[in-house]
Amino acid sequence: MISAEKIPNNVNLSSNKRLQRALEHWQPKYIQWWRDMGPQGFQDYHQVYVRTAISVDPEGWAHFEYVKLPEYRWGIFLADPVHDRRIGFGDFLGQPVWQEVPGEFRNQLRRLIVTQGDTEPASVEQQRLLGQRCPSLYDLRNLFQVNVEEGRHLWAMVYLLHSYFGRDGRDEAEELLERQSGNRDKPRILEAFNEPIDNWLDFFMFTMFTDRDGKSQLMSLSESSLDPLSRTTRFMLTEEAHHMFVGETGIARILERTCQLMKQAGFSGDVRKLGGIDMPTIQKHLNLWFSLSLDLHGSEVSSNAATYFANGLKGRAKEDTFDEHVVKDSYYRMEFFEDGKPVTKEILMRNAMNEVLRDWYVGDCAAGVVRWNRILEQHGLSERLRLPDRKFHRGIGMYSGFHFDPNGVPLTSEQWEQRKHEWLPSTADAEYLLSIMAEPIYEPGKFANYIAPPRRGINQLPIDFQYIRTEQ
Ligand SMILES: [Fe+2]
Ligand SMILES: [Fe+2]
């Protein structure tokens, strides 16, 4: 049964019969999906110490309790309304924001919401086997926290579809549970969400780089003229921050441990002999997930992006920090690749909106890499991690038909085939990672050999707290 007790919300669910009816139909399918496609082996006998959002104010939002995962209270929350909010960009600048979907933008808005919504269950599917290879109970709990919140993000998008898009919205909500990550016939919409994540190095890189694309997208949607979309995504951003924390600190702890092992190995770099993860392997996984996540921002020149901006549907990250919000006659200097050479051209700024967002994203990633490199520096190591050039390993946009090395130097197909595993994980790398993760660690306070313990536990609890307990 649908009730406000079971579904914490601030959208007046108890007095909204239409939404109740739609959810009553959808929710059992969601639970079935969670059981089939969510964390494998952790559905029935495990209680997980997770944070549940029960309201948007700070206390309600950080409510911790032990729950069985399928009984998690997935809720529906919108950030508080902004009084007299006005459209902040595009052709309707300054007009009041919309509380309903304008007919002429219905298809475009539905597309944006479905594309965002599709990524949420996709990542849960990608990560569903990781629990059986976890480096600690602390990490296992973080994985499940991320998973239940991605589930909640799906609820957030389904709420919008059910409330504002009628029959088509209900159909789309069902299809969000029918597509499957990596499925040949019914794949998820975006490519990075069809890639398997079967080891924890991939998981941490994914939460660092791909969840950060989530942040890019949510920031631009939170500028939207459709006020319920803006408010929904604004609240989602608070959860996204935790996902990136899991990724950034996860890699930081691997680096910490790798440094320790390198010292033990006499700085030979051969930390695999000691069961650690060597720097080249870490760099390759960074290259993989950064490049896949760059693709998620779409083509460099995009008339769709221009239309979304003109119509006020999707803005730039931190739109109010820009001087000019109509952006009709300004240009963006963009590098093209023609006849094997880079050529700079001026592109109408509105057509370059994907690239503008990608610029913001690259800057945000670069700051994270600087923080990682401090660890290497503190240990007196000369190695550094770095972001590959944006042209490297692209599957979408103007560079996708060509090959480049991580410095952006063009390569022939033969050179690429010969050398790609210097820069991207190979089957041997995957096998090595699985070999050191084969035994999961469920003992409180114990950590796998390849990762250092965190600085502190969750919710001010000790690191060796029993974050997950079993019951008979
Ligand atoms: Fe999400
Ligand atoms: Fe996320």
pLDDT value at residue 447: 98
pLDDT value at residue 269: 65
Per-residue confidence of the chain (472 residues) as pLDDT tens digits?
Answer: 677 778 999 999 999 999 999 999 999 999 999 999 999 999 999 999 999 988 888 777 789 999 999 999 999 999 999 999 999 999 999 999 999 999 999 999 999 999 999 999 999 999 999 999 999 999 999 999 999 999 999 999 999 999 999 999 999 999 999 999 999 999 999 999 999 999 999 999 999 999 999 999 999 999 999 999 999 999 999 999 999 999 999 999 999 999 999 999 887 768 999 999 999 999 999 999 999 999 999 999 999 999 999 999 999 999 999 999 999 999 999 999 888 888 999 999 999 999 999 999 999 999 999 999 999 999 999 999 999 999 999 999 999 989 999 999 999 999 999 999 999 999 999 999 999 999 999 999 999 999 999 999 999 999 999 999 997 5
Q: If you count them, how many residues does the chain have?
A: 472
pLDDT value at residue 56: 83
Q: Which ligand is nearest to the CA of 293?
A: 2
Q: How far is the CA of 121 from the centre of ligand 1 (A)?
A: 8
Q: How far is the CA of 210 from the centre of ligand 1 (A)?
A: 10
Q: How far is the CA of 249 from the centre of ligand 2 (A)?
A: 15
What 3-state class would DSSP assign to 125?
helix
Q: How far is the CA of 365 from the centre of ligand 1 (A)?
A: 18
Q: How far is the CA of 152 from the centre of ligand 1 (A)?
A: 8
Distance CA 277, CA 257 (A): 8
Tokens of 141: 């709990």
The residue to which tokens 């976890």 are assigned: 134
Q: Which residue, among 467, 442, 437, has the nearest Cα to 133 in the 3D structure? A: 437
Mark residue 431 as left, alpha or beta (left: phi above 0; alpha: psi -120 to 50; beta: remaining).
Answer: alpha
pLDDT value at residue 1: 62
Q: What is the pTM of this model?
A: 0.97
DSSP letters for 128-189: TTGGGG-S-HHHHHHHHHHHHHHHHHHHHHHHHHHHHSHHHHHHHHHHHHHS-TT-SSS--S
Q: How far is the CA of 233 from the centre of ligand 1 (A)?
A: 10
Q: How far is the CA of 417 from the centre of ligand 1 (A)?
A: 34
> What tens digit of pLDDT does each residue of 226-261 get?
999 999 999 999 999 999 999 999 999 999 999 999
Q: Which ligand is nearest to the CA of 127?
A: 2
> What tens digit of pLDDT does each residue of 70-128 get?
999 999 999 999 999 999 999 999 999 999 999 999 999 999 999 999 999 999 999 99
Q: How far is the CA of 120 from the centre of ligand 1 (A)?
A: 5
Distance CA 102, CA 118 (A): 23
Let me know: does 370 contact 387? Beta carbons within 8 Å.
no
Q: Which ligand is nearest to the CA of 116?
A: 1
